Structure 1
Amino acid sequence: MKLVAASARQCASLRPVFPVEFWRLPLLRAFSTQIDHHRVGFGRYCDLTYAQVLERHPSYCDWISGQTPTSPDFHRLRARKERCNNPGVANYPGFAYKPLLDRLSTSGQEVCQTALPAPKLLGSRPSSKTNLGQNIAIKQPVHDLGAFDLVVLVTQAAKVRKRGERVASRESSSNLEEELTTTCAQRMEEFNSDQLSILAWAFSTMRSKNLPMWRKLSVAVSRSICRFNTGQLANLAVSLAKAGKDDRDVFAAVTAASVKHIQDFSEKDLANTAWAFAAVGRNDHELFEAIAKAAVLRIAEFIPQGLANIVWAFATLGMIDEELFKAVASAACPMIGDFNAQNLSNSVWAFAKLGLDEHVFFEAVAAASLTTIGEFNEQNLANTVWAFAKLGVHHAQLFDSVAAAALPRLRNFKAQELASIVWAFAKVGRIDGEFFDVFATVASPQICNFKPPELSITSWAFATEQNLSNTIWAFAKIGRNDPELFEAVASSVLDRIGEFTRHGLCNVAWAFVEADLASGAAEELLDAIAAHARVMNWTGLSPGHGPQRRGTIEARCAALVLRLVPGASRLCTLIFIHRRSNSSSSKGSMPKLQS
């Protein structure tokens, strides 16, 4: 082995030179179409070319084939030997193609039930601690490299970018990436399906913004899509989704090819393909029906991450397949202990998003969450309790654990996460004074970052936090109404009142009526809500129907009522909005929530 390592280091003909640990190299070399004129560079016949060694010393080649070293020199010779024995067959045994995927994530969750950030993908690869940037040495201009060597260099550059390293032999990594991207765009027609799939992964990893390159890649892919295997199809879809390239023609081609060969997809390919289409918001019913049927048949082969990813994809697109979700719930329960925090939260979020209450599954998730609550991040905590509250499942121990885990970290929560978690606690009637006090302190300074739905459900939650009986009367008061938070909410709503829906303003108005705060900001907000409701014709009254003229009997009676009944003016504001709402018809009843 020392001889092999030394010879590899001395090999000057290999362009570019890569570290021995580069695990993709033997895979890619299997698909090389270059002429075998390079010197072997190692061992007994180091001065001969690959073609000469294969022709003159077959016994030596047979011996090489029986060895299992990690040196890329050995792999190249073995690859050429197999190619000679199997002409025209690139993907020979020992070099089975595996999609070059790494764990990804994109963000984009709205409040409560809108799409969660994309979960991590299946198919991560082991990584070495070697600084790859220090090992990229280019012996000739990039544009002179063969198609295969160019793909290898692009892949290596992508790994360097992913690790945040720099290329030692260039002024900067960005210069090399730009040169590689431009060269590949000019020579896109030279690459085969394997190389196109790998290039899509590499350029998405490098976050390339070169539009001409992406257009040419899309054209090349569309032309050769029939030659892609299932792993390459899944890898291609994921790479395009990761790069944010929602190319209609390419995804349509991927759909057609995938549906045709759906039975050949592995469970990982099924989950990753669904993930990719959901990430770009492409709800192709034919494809997802095929994925659901194939997944049900292979449900026992799925690992926890695959189960979580596939239900996340269906829920994100709002596509209900009860047979698939029941199969996932049944398969998940026996292995629930292997689910990590993100798998647990994404799974229950998906079921709750579609309104599918699998009681046994939720109990299993709750039990598993109790033992791993310390591993939950802020988003996992908020989404888990939101899912339970959405389906009306009040697991006391789980909510206690979430409160204990969230309290020290509330300052790290984003606006939508704060809104989701406080909504969940209020929805199930949890009395946790300390939690809501800390929440009020944390939320007040960043209330300007809350979106309208977040503001409305936050104010609703504070108005109902101690009201266990969910009283239907608007005058029923509770014991907690944090003035500082309500002042901040009032100020923010006033600035953006035009952005709120009728339901959202209804929730805000009801909350302020319940809180019964004697403040100028609260009065100003309620007056503004009433005025806005008239302008939008949400009350059934024309804008000209304002307060009664002074001196009329109605006006005098109204003045008397306002003096004798505390909060009557606020109740009138709420009634205005409720008159044409789908809320309960009883005066002062609690409005329906935006879940």
Structure 2
Amino acid sequence: MLVELWKPNLFCWRFLRRGSSAFAIRDHPPTADCKLAFGRYSGLSFGEVLRSQPGYCAWVVNNTSTEPKYQRFQVYIRQAFSDCDATSAMKDISSTSLLERPLRDNGHGFSCSEVVHLALEAANVQKAGCIPDELLIRELTFVSLEMMSEFECHYLSMMASSFAIINPQDPNLWNELAAVIVFHMRSFSAKQLAIIAWSFANAGYHEPELFQAVADASLAQMSSFSPREMVTLVVNFAIAGQDDGRLFDAVSTAAVVSIKSFSPSDLINTVRSFAKVSRADADLFESVAKSSMASIDAFTPKQLSIIASSFASVRTENIDLFAAIAHETQRKITLFSPQGMAVTVWAFARLAIHESMLFESIAAESIIKIKGFTSQGLANTAWAFASVRIEHDQLLATISTQAQTNITSFNPIDLFQIAWSFAKLGRHDRQLFEQLVPVVLATICTLSCQHTANIAWAFAAVGRNDVGLFRALALHAIATIQDFHLQELAQLAWAFVEADLLRESAIVRLTDTIIARARANDWVHLALERGPQRPHTIESKCAAIVCALVPGTSLNRYHQLGFEMDMVFEGVNGQCIDFEIDELYHRSPRQRAVDARRDAFLQQLGVRILRFDPFDVAGRERTDLQQAITDKLRMAGVVAHFSFTRRRSVT
């Protein structure tokens, strides 16, 4: 029998080791039309010999020669056998599987150690970059399932680690393996528990019951874990998305005690795993920061970027650590990959750490390596510079060129992020925004609410008022309006008020839809945050007068839908009054139109608008400023109201 002649030894792997012709066979697999170049049937095709000479094929398969002429035919026979069924041309060759070998004392024809040994060898072959024999892997899986209850604990952990590499996608195998491992869970050592966590996480088997059992067993012997085993444990819990609070707390406590024995990679993997499950344990991160600073010069560029991004992901700022990272990054900047630079600059920007020399170093090196950036790397870099308000002209121009060159192949979402970043810096790159219009229109139906709002905001902020683009965004927003959160709705409202567009039906419908959505959710009040104060300006001078006339006036407040209001106080019947100081730029026709749209929008949300121009016709500050403001408020019925009533002010 063909398969019966195969031995449960390393022959099946030997012909795939490096140095053999395995790679040539893999790249040019044999077919039925290939001609045999040796032996009595030389000149016949592989297919003819396979159909007519099963005994000869069995001899070839069992031949241990490493000569390519044998190996190509061996590979073809195995592949043909693995693809065969009851009606194939292989029907003359027995399909007896490894499970039907003559039984040994244990009833399977294999010992547990043989199966584990073969699985480990197969995993080693695959890790070396070769392709193990698929048929034997399948047979190993069948045998393992049949023998599962016979494996001892040390074999089970080795089986799991091997199959995580050679057969991670067989649900039956992993379900059975999980059941047996859970049954024996209390018998595993700390090292074996770490291996089990790694195996199941990397096999994509993320069932909570299995990981809860691993956590319970690990907690019972936490003192037995070495630093590397602890790190392996939490890293793979994080990979599997298993945020077991008890386990992470225990590892955090143990790690703080033994932090001095952690290697740089252990330190990095620890905080990365905690960040992945959004855990920012203050004591742990502080200990990791101190220990990292002591050996920061030994960190590789990749490790520097990872530790920075891990702290930033959970918004944990450590000034001393980031100063050390900045210094070391500048020292090793030429060794950084494009991805490493993008991740590092993103981390500093996320924590609002304005290290100007670091940003300059990253900008200079990024320009040199710009072609190595992915679209996400470019987007993260642009976002970082925009977030800390550093407008590096040469870098931004290079990012724009690279984005335009790859406009059809880059991820559209990353392109939109670049546009948002440029708009944040007030940079209107006409060519870039022009090329983005068809990209937006082509992907409009796939845009999330956040992306819709960001795109509208970016184009409005730079004054790119493309009617077709805004019409498409309006229609898409109307269709998905129930999914918009407050911040997204506010950004969308600002964009369509700011954009200088004709009041066509789609735009009007969107405005009405936004207002209806805001009313339905009671988003019609003042937000908690305040805008920046502007001392020594005409606005601040007017504010002092208004505050004296109207007690309780609140300055630079935002409406929940994002519009800033210069001065706010409460009028008759509790109505919110917005007193706007119009500086000279408000006299331009475009700004007057924007002001009119803004005021009409806020009025529909119940806000009364009062506008005051503090300049005379020549553009000079009015000499009767206080009297003019008093008259304005009196005519609006505000001063009289506050003279006779002491209503609660808006705060």
**Structure 2 residue runs without a partner (length 5+):** 1-5, 18-125, 526-558, 560-567, 576-588, 615-651
Partners of 1:190 and 1:21 in 2: CA distance:
37
Partners of 1:572 and 1:445 in 2: CA distance:
34
Q: How does 1:352-501 map to 2 (within 5 A)?
A: 352-414=349-411, 416-465=413-462, 478=463, 480-500=464-484
Partner of 2:492: 508
Shift of 1:433: 1.7
Shift of 1:458: 1.6
Partners of 1:395 and 1:570 in 2: CA distance:
34
Residue type at the aligned position of 2:285: F
Partner of 2:256: 259
Amino-acid identity (%): 31
Indicate yes or no: 2:113 matched with 1:128.
no
SS in 2 for 1:232: helix
Residue range with higher mean Cα deviation, 192-201 or 370-379: 370-379
SS in 1 for 2:221: helix
Shift of 1:533: 4.8
Partner of 2:219: 222
SS in 2 for 1:368: helix
Partner of 1:70: none
Larger Rg: 2
Determine which structure has greater relative contact order: mean sequence separation of CA pairs < 8 Å that are 6+ residues apart, divided by chain length: 1
Residue type at the aligned position of 1:142: M
Q: How does 1:90-489 map to 2 (within 5 A)?
A: 127-131=128-132, 136=137, 138=140, 141-161=147-167, 173-414=170-411, 416-465=413-462, 478=463, 480-489=464-473
SS in 1 for 2:371: helix
Indicate yes or no: 2:521 matched with 1:520.
no
Residue type at the aligned position of 1:197: A
How many corresponding residue pairs? 434
**Contact persistence 2:16–2:132 (CA under 8 A):** no
1:571 to 573, 576, 598: 598
Q: Deviations over 1:50-107 (max 9, x none)?
A: xxxxxxxxxxxxxxxxxxxxxxxxxxxxxxxxxxxxxxxxxxxxxxxxxxxxxxxxxx
Shift of 1:178: 2.7
Shift of 1:505: 3.8
Partners of 1:268 and 1:578 in 2: CA distance:
55
**Contact persistence 1:530–1:576 (CA under 8 A):** no
Q: Deviations over 1:206-243 (max 9, x none)?
A: 11144432222111111111111111111111100001
**Structure 1 residue runs without a partner (length 5+):** 1-8, 23-124, 165-172, 466-477, 547-561, 588-595
SS in 2 for 1:516: coil
**Contact persistence 1:502–1:577 (CA under 8 A):** no
Partners of 2:156 and 2:134 in 1: CA distance:
16
Residue type at the aligned position of 2:505: G
Shift of 1:371: 2.2
Partner of 1:79: none
SS in 1 for 2:369: helix
Shift of 1:513: 3.2
Residue range with higher mean Cα deviation, 383-392 or 524-533: 524-533
> CA distance change for structure 1 residues 484 and 10 in 2, over 3 Å: closer, same or farther?
same
Residue type at the aligned position of 1:249: R
> CA distance change for structure 1 residues 232 and 160 in 2, over 3 Å: closer, same or farther?
same
**Contact persistence 1:459–1:489 (CA under 8 A):** yes
> CA distance change for structure 1 residues 208 and 268 in 2, over 3 Å: closer, same or farther?
same
Q: Structure 2 length normalisation: TM-score?
A: 0.60
Residue range with higher mean Cα deviation, 267-276 or 512-521: 512-521
Partners of 1:335 and 1:585 in 2: CA distance:
56
> CA distance change for structure 1 residues 174 and 516 in 2, over 3 Å: closer, same or farther?
same
Residue type at the aligned position of 1:348: V
Q: How does 1:552-591 map to 2 (within 5 A)?
A: 569-576=596-603
> CA distance change for structure 1 residues 430 and 578 in 2, over 3 Å: closer, same or farther?
farther
